[in-house]
Structure 1
Amino acid sequence: MNYLFINNALSGTGGSRVILNLAAILIDFGHKVSIVIDRDDNIDYEIPVGVDVYLWGVDEVSPISADRVGGEYSNERRKYRQVSLIKNIKQALRPFKAKFVFIKEILFNSRYEASMTSFYSKNKFDVVVNSNVYIGLDRHIFLSRLFSEKYYVNFHNSPKEIFSRRDFFVRSSIGELFGRSKLLGVSQGIIDELNQYRELDGAQKTAIYNVFDFSLIKGRSEEKVTEFLGDYIISVSSLTQRKRVERLIYSFEIISKSHPNLKLLILGDGELKSSLQNIVEECSLKDKVVFYGFCSNPYPLIASARLLMLASDSEGLPTVIIEALSLGIPVISTNCPTGPEEILAPWGNDYLISLHQPESAIVSELAEKANRVLESDYDREYVIKNSQLERFERDRVIAKWESLNV
């Protein structure tokens, strides 16, 4: 089959990593995969061999040359992302920026449509999957008509959280945008939320988990890490508001009283880095909290951790939880919509923290349950066996992708 994935960018985020992992495994299964993006200035991952990447421009959908892809964040971009003042200004102007983007799309809409129509005429795709549910929203109406029954919209995060954002600026209703499309969700929780919108009653909805190559993850986890970090808890997420990394810092302040030699390793980058560093200073944890930044291969660091913690307000299907469990690392997570409860179901509520309580109680419960796991010192094989990870195995998940439009 010939698959086309449409996304805003391939930056250093979990969503981009999920799409590239899926593309690589589809290639392994003998399928053809293309990815079309809106931006080519922030491609931070290696592109799998055999995957064609294109830029959706006003006049054409053009291939992106190999020398433009892959690698770590550049120093210039790292420096830029760490300037909190600029980030704060951008955050304040985001709603206006969204309106400007839509005005620009009105002016160039016919040219965007013509370039994609020409691209499709040259590449007869069997399945087209659009993960853009934040940017270029009004394109969904055009794309659903162009690709018809081949067109899917894939939700990687909680729909309720997406639709409630201040910058979710649309001229059309949710029903007009997505009602003509087939809808995918990376967890059953996402599908359950979509089913609550009456405007989407007529849309076909299917849950397909993110795909994992556990043998590859294990192999990459065995790569050497140059620095010795000692014992640590790990967090892997972008440093954004939704991820609520500050909860982990406050809870670690409590944890470190019982485990004074333990560190908190934070993998990821984002606009809140400076403010999170300030919280670390206020909590007198400067020598115990390490901001590691973006890492293209986080698996050796995850595999050496005592525990992985996640404290988000919302997710889709947080891949890092599944990756940690596959390496035998236990996980504590907020019971946010959607995903953590589904993944951690075999472990029960002892590994989930309710968000329906005061913030101080959330922090205390994170610390309490983390301490309990640290004291249990689980065997890695026990963690893997008890997590029922066969749900996410590549053969089972790819079979669902191959059943689309069959």
Structure 2
Amino acid sequence: MMQTKRVAIFIDTLAGGGAEKVMMSLADTLVSLGHQPELIVLTSRFDYELPTNYPVHVLYTDNKAKINGFFDTDKHAQKLTQFIDKLETSGKYDLFLSNLDDCNRIVAACNFSPCYFVIHNSIEETVKRTKLMGPIKYAFLRQCLQSLNGKQLITVSDGIKQELETVKRIKPSSIQTIYNPFNVNKIRELAEQPDADIPQDDYIIHVGRFAKQKRHDILFKALRNVDSRYKLVCLCNKVGKAKKLAAKYGIEDRVILPGFKQNPYNWIANAKALVLSSDFEGLPTVLIEALTCNTIPVSTICPHGPDEILTGELSHYLAPRRNPEALAEKLNDALRSSHQSSTALSNADIFAKVDAIKVAERYLALTN
């Protein structure tokens, strides 16, 4: 039996994003295996409920604190090092895991070991988008990426790994793929919980932050060509902005905006289809969650992840990105098929790669 391992998981916030959820799921699994994960959250921003089965430490408790200053990396790294030194008076960490750009830049300036940096998104697509935001944001992103040179990287999909090895924008000391962990039984249990807010009428669902990357504009354009009997539920933040965009495309009467939900699984399970309209991803968790809940997922073939999740006959539900007409066509196909056997969903190949226990064991192997 493996000796108990103490694992520090760095993340910039616990806002309602996919990387945050993935790391909390990993921590839950590590606890179930008898280990001691701890979340080290750099800033005090929380959408997710705080866990009670493992510690959460906050570096900056002032909710106005910012960590994205161009010249503040060394200052934050020094504070984080002192913070970890204090936590290690009760025992050394066996593994450090860092997530997301701002966090990675700061952790990379520290000397934690063994330390791995988890890449959750397509780097090249992030670079393209950031260039459009102006030279300052682009220079800051370059600084974040350059901080990963010589570091040990983990990618959440093979697509990201292949991109990094092909483009060579980052020169890591090592790179490997470890898929995101999914506790299928827990998700299915949560999917059974009642929620009085769930619509009685048939609906499609989109789960994701209201951000340019998620392409709600493409989603709303597609909805205009989707069977009018179906509403669209968007579980997102920034409800006001989402409502304004829906009005712009003339479909506000078909869009339901309940806001962020701690438990999205019962909403997903009751939907006739789930849709992902993103420009880019890493390994989109919502597609695997839909499969787990026996809901057909429809997705753009964006870099990276959808084509690693929707394989075999499920690949029929992949549409070219930035093409609302094609996305609508695939959604209509899914809606016509929603009553059919769920065998293809429950037997999807991806489940073997994202089993929570196996994924946690891959991470624990890094402590050796």
Asked if TM exceeds 0.5, the reply is: yes
Q: TM-score with structure 1 length normalisation?
A: 0.80
The answer for the alignment partner of 1:251 in structure 2 is 222
- Residue by residue over 1:48-101, the C-alpha shift from the partner in whole angstroms, topping out at 9 and shown as x without a partner, is 3331111224xxxxxx8xxx9xxxxxxxx9xxxxxxxxxxxxxxxxxxx987x1
Q: 2:54 aligns with which of 38, 51, 54?
A: 51
Q: 1:147 aligns with which of 112, 134, 145?
A: 112
Q: 1:315 aligns with which of 281, 300, 304?
A: 281
Distance 1:34 1:237, change over 3 A: same
1:278 aligned to 2:254?
no
1:226 aligned to 2:196?
yes
The answer for the alignment partner of 1:241 in structure 2 is 212
**Is the contact made by 1:347 and 1:386 (CA closer than 8 Å) also made in structure 2?**
no
Q: 1:158 aligns with which of 122, 141, 156?
A: 122
CA separation in 1, counterparts of 2:358 and 2:224?
A: 41
The answer for the alignment partner of 2:345 in structure 1 is 384
Distance 1:218 1:98, change over 3 A: closer
Q: 2:334 aligns with which of 350, 373, 391?
A: 373
Distance 1:287 1:229, change over 3 A: farther
Q: How does 1:5-404 map to 2 (within 5 A)?
A: 5-40=9-44, 42-57=45-60, 101-106=69-74, 110-120=78-88, 122-133=90-101, 135-136=102-103, 138-143=105-110, 146-148=111-113, 150-164=114-128, 165=130, 166=133, 167-170=137-140, 176-198=146-168, 200-201=170-171, 203-227=173-197, 228-255=199-226, 259-270=227-238, 273-347=239-313, 349-355=315-321, 359=322, 362-379=323-340, 381-388=342-349, 389-404=351-366
> RMSD of the TM alignment (CA)?
2.6
Q: Which amino acid aligns with 1:6?
A: F
Q: Which amino acid aligns with 1:196?
A: T
DSSP 3-state at the match of 1:242: helix
How far residue 340 of structure 1 moved from its aligned partner, in angstroms, is: 0.6
Gaps of 5+ in 2: none
Distance 1:163 1:124, change over 3 A: farther
CA separation in 2, counterparts of 1:266 and 1:174?
A: 31
Distance 1:119 1:196, change over 3 A: farther
CA separation in 1, counterparts of 2:109 and 2:346?
A: 46
The answer for the alignment partner of 1:82 in structure 2 is none
Gaps of 5+ in 1: 58-63, 69-76, 78-96
**Is the contact made by 2:273 and 2:338 (CA closer than 8 Å) also made in structure 1?**
no
CA separation in 2, counterparts of 1:98 and 1:3?
A: 23
How far residue 384 of structure 1 moved from its aligned partner, in angstroms, is: 2.7
**Is the contact made by 1:246 and 1:276 (CA closer than 8 Å) also made in structure 2?**
no
DSSP 3-state at the match of 1:249: helix
How far residue 177 of structure 1 moved from its aligned partner, in angstroms, is: 1.4
Report how many aligned residue pairs link the two structures.
354
**Is the contact made by 2:7 and 2:93 (CA closer than 8 Å) also made in structure 1?**
yes
How far residue 339 of structure 1 moved from its aligned partner, in angstroms, is: 0.8
How far residue 36 of structure 1 moved from its aligned partner, in angstroms, is: 0.8
Q: TM-score with structure 2 length normalisation?
A: 0.87
CA separation in 2, counterparts of 1:337 and 1:171?
A: 19
CA separation in 2, counterparts of 1:36 and 1:319?
A: 22
CA separation in 1, counterparts of 2:50 and 2:284?
A: 21
**Is the contact made by 1:183 and 1:204 (CA closer than 8 Å) also made in structure 2?**
yes
How far residue 289 of structure 1 moved from its aligned partner, in angstroms, is: 1.1
The answer for the alignment partner of 1:93 in structure 2 is none
**Is the contact made by 2:269 and 2:295 (CA closer than 8 Å) also made in structure 1?**
yes
